């Protein structure tokens, strides 16, 4: 047997442990060299003692390292060390009591198998723990910050979560942007709602001031007529004024506090104080205790206070277009008030011919012209055109003509030929047109605000729908991407596990994109083929060695073969089965691998012998073995343990797999026909299946469980499989 060389793939990452393994391998190779060179028994024993001493030292060092790492399976590892130390004592005693080369070779082969198992199975299981605790001394490389970050992410976040995070990082950014837009939309919507309340205040102020102006004019006419005319109209107007006053007060109570600045609050308080005394002022008029000047002074002060609220609104921190609209409305209301004053002053001039008041009359006309220019500068071209049309209307032209006549009479000092009634009617028509314009401006403002509110609502709904759609699509796409990645990875994992268990038949037939997963699959396929080649090469080597050994020991082979095989069927006999079964049971106890067993018993075999003869019975036994051999694996142990009773021991097999094999054998036997001299003979079998667990200490107990399962199959009607 040739020596085994150290392979760097055997390294566990700790230099001292690797050196121990190299030394152990060197000593085992020395034993092999001593055997091959024909060295004396004492030389081999000396090397063996050195090996035993070094193993103890190695185990102590290894256990100390595992304690430093807080390794979870340290107790199991210590037990494995203790088991080997006990075994090595047995091997030494075996060498001491035997002086044959065959025993030395057997011991050497055992030591080599143990060392490979110790390094590859036992020690490599803690290699990662040693590395994680920073105790590894080989292959240390300084990773960059990015590499370390990626490693930490890979350790703490699963692949599924990383895929979802990769999708949700941009979606969170998009959601933040949508939330910002949504918040801005909400702010605009809230502002528009407040502005809608403010526009209601504008409408109510205009309505109240307009009704107060009408009430003032009717009160003047009532007093001037010596309390004889227009009282009924005055009473009706007072009711309209009270209605407008109630709406005004109600609207003020609903205004949002941020929309009331200090200036507005001052005018509101002042207007409330004046309006409280409105009923008192009316009572003095009804009791004929008030004169025209006092009455007009009160109403004028109240109206001006209300109109001053517009100036306070203009100073509010509100949207520019709305602020401009308030200014425009304020200008028209001021213009309307100037027209009312002009109407009152014109009545005085026409009735009393007071030439000293013409200067005030001229000032009022100039003020109106200035307000008209201000209106045109604040409004759009379309509004300017509408104003020109209004300014060119019949009502406005009549007023202009009368104003021209009044101005001319003031210059010529001549009698004005226009009646006060005609003047009042013309000016009232102008005032009514201006009032209609004011109401239209208020309606336009409210319409604009409502459109803004509707737009902001639609924008909010659109953002919510788009955001919901994107979130749903992100979840669906992320789920599909995760599955498209996880699915092939799980298949690769399953294939690698099968590969490690000795199965070489799993191939990938699906096509994948040329990426990392495709490269992994290609690497798997390359490994599968190489391992398959290695298996074939190992089989060929074994065949060659077998042929060589057969030729070399031809004389010994025949008796040895017959001693381990059943002469009738050619399968393994019970003695050989017991030997191999005990060896397999020891291996299972150590490595906790799966182990299953089935017993096969021919149904009504005595009847076959009685009916067709013993020779036919022997033929049935032989053909049953052929059926079983066609179904069992190379690693399974198939033996005859009784007259018509057979056993199959299946290493690395779970009970579900064993059950499936038993069903196949049972079905194959049922479908099989034995033909002897044109006689067709059908037969069946009953099969009992069981599996090893940690409660089973000896093979006889496992066989007993399988026999009970066979008995249960017989009782249930034969030709079936029972699991025990």
Closest of 97, 116, 115 to residue 45, by C-alpha: 97
Q: Which residue is listed with tokens 């070399």?
A: 552
404-418 as b/e: b if 16+ CB within 10 A: eebeebbeeeeebee
- CA atoms of 681 and 104, how far apart (whole Å): 53
Closest of 436, 423, 268 to residue 336, by C-alpha: 436
- CA atoms of 50 and 328, how far apart (whole Å): 111
Are 199 and 477 in contact by the 8 Å Cβ rule? The answer is no
Are 347 and 420 in contact by the 8 Å Cβ rule? The answer is yes
Residue 644 appears among annotated catalytic residues: yes
Point out the catalytic residue in the list 62, 342, 403, 644: 644
Q: How many helices (DSSP H) and strands (DSSP E) are in the chain? A: 23, 7
Are 179 and 303 in contact by the 8 Å Cβ rule? The answer is no
- CA atoms of 579 and 22, how far apart (whole Å): 33
Token pair in block for residue 660: 């499936």
Give long-range contacts, CB 8 A cutoff, 24+ apart: 366-375.
367/338, 368/335, 368/338, 368/339, 368/342, 371/331, 371/332, 371/334, 371/335, 371/338, 372/335, 374/331, 375/328, 375/331, 375/332, 375/335
- CA atoms of 118 and 103, how far apart (whole Å): 22
Closest of 206, 222, 399, 204 to residue 296, by C-alpha: 222
- CA atoms of 262 and 317, how far apart (whole Å): 13
- CA atoms of 423 and 430, how far apart (whole Å): 11
- CA atoms of 302 and 272, how far apart (whole Å): 9
Catalytic residues: 644
């Amino acid at each position: 047997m040739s020596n085994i060389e150290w392979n760097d793939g055997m390294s566990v990452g700790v230099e001292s442990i690797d050196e121990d393994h190299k030394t152990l391998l060197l000593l085992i190779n020395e034993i092999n060299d001593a055997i091959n060179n024909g060295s004396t028994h004492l030389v081999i024993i000396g090397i063996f003692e050195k090996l035993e001493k070094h193993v103890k030292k190695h185990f102590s060092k290894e256990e100390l390292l595992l304690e430093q790492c807080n390794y979870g399976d340290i107790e199991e590892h210590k037990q494995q060390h203790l088991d080997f130390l006990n075994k090595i004592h047995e091997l030494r005693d075996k060498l001491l009591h035997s002086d044959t080369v065959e025993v030395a070779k057997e011991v050497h082969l055992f030591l080599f198998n143990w060392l490979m198992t110790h390094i590859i199975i036992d020690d490599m299981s803690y290699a990662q723990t040693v590395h994680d605790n920073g105790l590894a001394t080989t292959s240390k490389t300084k990773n960059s910050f990015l590499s370390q970050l990626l490693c930490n992410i890979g350790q703490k976040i699963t692949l599924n979560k990383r895929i979802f995070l990769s999708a949700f990082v941009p979606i969170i950014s998009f959601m933040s942007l949508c939330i910002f837009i949504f918040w801005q939309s909400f702010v605009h919507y809230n502002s528009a709602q407040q502005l809608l309340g403010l526009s209601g205040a504008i409408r109510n102020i205009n309505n109240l001031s307009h009704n107060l102006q009408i009430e003032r004019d009717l009160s003047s006419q009532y007093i001037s007529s010596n309390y004889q005319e227009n009282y009924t109209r005055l009473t009706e107007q007072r009711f309209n004024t009270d209605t407008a006053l109630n709406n005004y007060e109600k609207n003020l109570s609903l205004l949002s506090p941020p929309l009331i600045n200090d200036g507005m609050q001052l005018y509101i308080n002042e207007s409330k104080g004046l309006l409280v005394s409105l009923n008192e002022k009316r009572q003095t008029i009804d009791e004929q205790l008030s004169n025209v000047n006092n009455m007009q002074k009160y109403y004028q002060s109240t109206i001006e206070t209300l109109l001053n609220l517009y100036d306070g609104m203009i100073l509010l921190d509100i949207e520019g277009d709305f602020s401009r609209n308030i200014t425009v409305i304020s200008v028209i209301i001021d213009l309307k008030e100037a027209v009312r004053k002009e109407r009152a002053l014109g009545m005085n001039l026409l009735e009393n011919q007071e030439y000293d008041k013409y200067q005030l009359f001229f000032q009022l006309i100039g003020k109106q012209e200035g307000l008209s220019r201000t209106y045109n500068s604040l409004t759009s071209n379309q509004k300017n055109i509408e104003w020109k049309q209004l300014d060119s209307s019949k009502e406005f032209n009549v007023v202009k003509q009368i104003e021209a006549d009044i101005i001319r009479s003031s210059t010529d000092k001549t009698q004005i030929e226009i009646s006060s009634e005609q003047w009042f009617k013309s000016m009232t028509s102008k005032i009514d047109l201006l009032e209609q314009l004011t109401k239209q401006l208020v309606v336009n403002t409210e319409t604009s605000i409502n459109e803004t509110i509707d737009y902001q609502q639609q924008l909010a709904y659109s953002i919510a729908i788009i955001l919901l759609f994107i979130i749903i699509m992100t979840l669906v796409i992320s789920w599909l991407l995760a599955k498209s990645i996880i699915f092939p990875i799980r298949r690769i994992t399953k294939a690698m596990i099968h590969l490690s268990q000795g199965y070489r038949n799993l191939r990938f037939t699906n096509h994948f994109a040329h990426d990392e997963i495709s490269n992994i699959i290609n690497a798997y396929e390359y490994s599968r083929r190489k391992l398959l080649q290695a298996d074939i090469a190992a089989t060929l080597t074994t065949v060659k060695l077998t042929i060589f050994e057969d030729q070399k020991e031809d004389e010994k082979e025949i008796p040895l073969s017959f001693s381990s095989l059943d002469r009738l069927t050619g399968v393994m006999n019970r003695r050989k089965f017991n030997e191999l079964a005990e060896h397999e049971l020891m291996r299972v106890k150590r490595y906790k691998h799966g182990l299953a067993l089935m017993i096969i018993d021919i149904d009504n075999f005595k009847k076959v012998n009685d009916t067709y003869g013993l020779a036919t019975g022997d033929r049935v036994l032989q053909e049953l073995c052929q059926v079983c051999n066609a179904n069992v694996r190379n690693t399974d142990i198939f033996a005859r343990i009784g007259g018509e009773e057979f056993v199959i021991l299946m290493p690395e097999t779970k009970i579900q797999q064993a059950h499936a094999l038993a069903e196949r054998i049972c079905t194959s036997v049922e479908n099989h026909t034995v033909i002897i001299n044109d006689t067709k003979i059908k037969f069946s079998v009953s099969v009992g299946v069981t599996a090893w667990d940690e409660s089973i200490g000896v093979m006889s107990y496992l066989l007993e469980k399988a026999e009970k399962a066979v008995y249960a199959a017989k009782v249930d009607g034969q030709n079936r499989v029972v699991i025990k």
